[in-house]
Structure 1
Amino acid sequence: MLLTFLICCTGCSQDTSTTSQQTSKPSTTAITNHTSKLEQKPARETSKRVTTRKSQSRAHKSYAALSRLRHKYPQIFKNNGSSQSRKIALTFDDVPDAFTNKVLDTLKKYNVKATFFIVGYKAEAHPEIVRRMVREGHLVGNHSYNHPLLTKIPMAKFERQILRTDAILYRIVGYHPKFIRPPYGEINEQQVRWAGRQGYIIVNWNVDSQDWRGLSASKVSKNILSTTKPGSIILQHAGGNEGGALNGTLEALPYIIERLERQNYQFVTLTEMFHIPRNR
């Protein structure tokens, strides 16, 4: 699970603040003999190893910081429900857009309710999809206005990201959503404290489909089914399907639902999982 979350912290659509940096390509200067070509290879491999170690170190630090915040503010910051319940929550980020309707169609077919984390500017462009979510019994939450890395922006801009999206969603669905999911799962203590004072609850996840990597349906299914347990909050994406990157999510969804229901899991929204109202 730790490994899964570390990947999450480097993921979620882009996917995170700690996305592995691309190793610089070796110089294109002509290499005139076989010996000099061989001399290039160890340096490149060493560079890759150093880059990987740095990326892993950043991911560990991010995970540790978020874990400390959850333990310090358990009523404000959550990533799972009760382990004593068979309730689990499907959550979908980076919505809405045209692809979102395909996910909604599948959920409707199986009568499964989920939680969708809304990006403000996308809601402005597709308010009818947000209304459909609520009409069909799903929960909507706040995923910022334009998906920045919140820990890298000033506090005033962070507040505007949340409150602007809150106002957009209120105009569309008629309530102020209780839940925030920070883009890439990244948030700092000052932001957590502010969110708590405003009546929000921050929710990340403890099961990552890793669908943002453009995985096949079988790999998405494996990532979810192998790590889901009572109280799990499952991260998937239902927006941003450029180039068919999320086709694996859509294709895997029926199989995931059927398998987990056979294991007597109950799909719920986050309000049902935490027994709190949807409106802050």
Structure 2
Amino acid sequence: MARHHRARLTLAVALSSALLGLAAPPAQASTDQGPKKEPKKTTKIDCAKVKCIALTFDDGPGKYADKLLDTFKKHKAKATFFLEGQYVKSRPAFAKRMVTEGHEIGNHSYTHPHFREISDYQIREELESTAEIVKKVTGKSPTMIRPPYGEFDERVVSIATEMGLPIVLWNGGSRDWATKNEDAIYKEVLRSAKRDGVILMHDWVQQTVTVMPRLLTALEKQGYHMVTVTDLLRDGRKLEPGEIYPDPDVQPSELESPAV
């Protein structure tokens, strides 16, 4: 009799536990880590609505490029870097970081020769070798070409067209390669700054890198957004292969640095 009583008691407890389990709300996940955060969305700057300017840097990656990238990251600004293959080879980490952090990459040849003074074959070799090492190091190919010294002719335009890339020059300078003076660089950039301007600078000039925090702050106060060259374009327009941008009426050879 006692055994039957214990069996009935055990069965009652089991049934009670099952019923309580059915009535209980589903277990909640641990809140130790707080609510799940949605990924931040990057808002694309519309240069048709706000003032934009493209700061561009030739001959890199220079040995001060990491400090320059730190400054751009702090200011949440973007730039366009026209790289030389020889320096991508010697400073691959800097080139990779440029792409990782959302900057635009252009082709500035491998050894910075005068394109007008070399053969078609040599021009192709300079550009293709640079494109190859940039892709190998960063995972992305250059999106545009800037010939050394800004010098080009029909042959260069034809080769750029074959490679499917536009030729990007500039319409404002810094003369950083000539003055190597922080105040002079600062004043020259602000003097030549204009909406949709493309400014020529160099990341191997230490004074350029040093003055950049002050310069970005001044441009921001004037309402400028620092963007890549491609981001300057309106309504999703893309530069065509062999197209020259901006207006080539400027005399770039008066602004570009000597060979470095």
- TM-score w.r.t. the length of structure 2 is 0.69
SS in 2 for 1:207: coil
Matching of residue 236 in structure 1 with residue 201 in structure 2: yes
Query: Separation in 1 of the partners of 2:54 and 2:95?
Result: 19
SS in 1 for 2:64: helix
Extract structure 1 runs of 4+ deviating beyond 3 A: 82-85, 275-278
Structure 2 residue corresponding to 1:193, chosen from 158, 180, 185? 158
Query: Separation in 1 of the partners of 2:207 and 2:124?
Result: 34
Q: Is the 8 A contact 1:90 1:269 kept in 2?
A: yes
Aligned twin of 2:231 = 272
SS in 2 for 1:131: helix
Where do 1:130-169 residues align within 5 Å? 130-169=95-134
Q: Is the 8 A contact 1:147 1:183 kept in 2?
A: yes
Structure 2 residue corresponding to 1:255, chosen from 203, 211, 214? 214
Aligned twin of 2:55 = 90
Q: Deviations over 1:55-90 (max 9, x none)?
A: xxxxxxxxxxxxxxxxxxxxxxxxxxx898621101
Query: Separation in 2 of the partners of 1:85 and 1:152?
Result: 41
> In the alignment, residue 217 of structure 2 is paired with which amino acid?
E
Query: Separation in 2 of the partners of 1:105 and 1:118?
Result: 18
The Cα shift of 1:173 comes to 1.7
Matching of residue 114 in structure 1 with residue 73 in structure 2: no
Q: Is the 8 A contact 1:84 1:231 kept in 2?
A: no
The Cα shift of 1:137 comes to 1.3
Query: Separation in 1 of the partners of 2:137 and 2:160?
Result: 22
The Cα shift of 1:170 comes to 1.1
Q: Deviations over 1:163-186 (max 9, x none)?
A: 111111111122221211111111
Structure 1 residue corresponding to 2:69, chosen from 71, 82, 104? 104
The Cα shift of 1:121 comes to 1.1
Q: Is the 8 A contact 1:83 1:231 kept in 2?
A: no
The Cα shift of 1:193 comes to 2.2
Where do 1:38-53 residues align within 5 Å? none
Query: Structure 1 regions of 5+ residues with no counterpart?
Result: 1-81, 240-245
Query: Separation in 1 of the partners of 2:98 and 2:176?
Result: 21
The Cα shift of 1:226 comes to 1.0
Matching of residue 222 in structure 1 with residue 183 in structure 2: no
Q: Is the 8 A contact 1:83 1:230 kept in 2?
A: no
> In the alignment, residue 99 of structure 2 is paired with which amino acid?
V
The RMSD of aligned alpha carbons is 2.0
Q: Is the 8 A contact 2:50 2:225 kept in 1?
A: no
More helix by percentage = 1
SS in 2 for 1:236: strand
> In the alignment, residue 103 of structure 2 is paired with which amino acid?
H
Aligned twin of 2:172 = 207
Q: Deviations over 1:132-172 (max 9, x none)?
A: 11111111110101111111111110011111111111111
Q: Deviations over 1:241-267 (max 9, x none)?
A: xxxxx2321232112111111111111
The Cα shift of 1:228 comes to 0.8
Distance 1:149 1:85, change over 3 A: farther
Q: Deviations over 1:197-231 (max 9, x none)?
A: 32101111111100001431111011110111111
- Residue identity over aligned pairs, in percent, reads 38
Query: Structure 2 regions of 5+ residues with no counterpart?
Result: 1-46, 242-260
SS in 2 for 1:180: coil
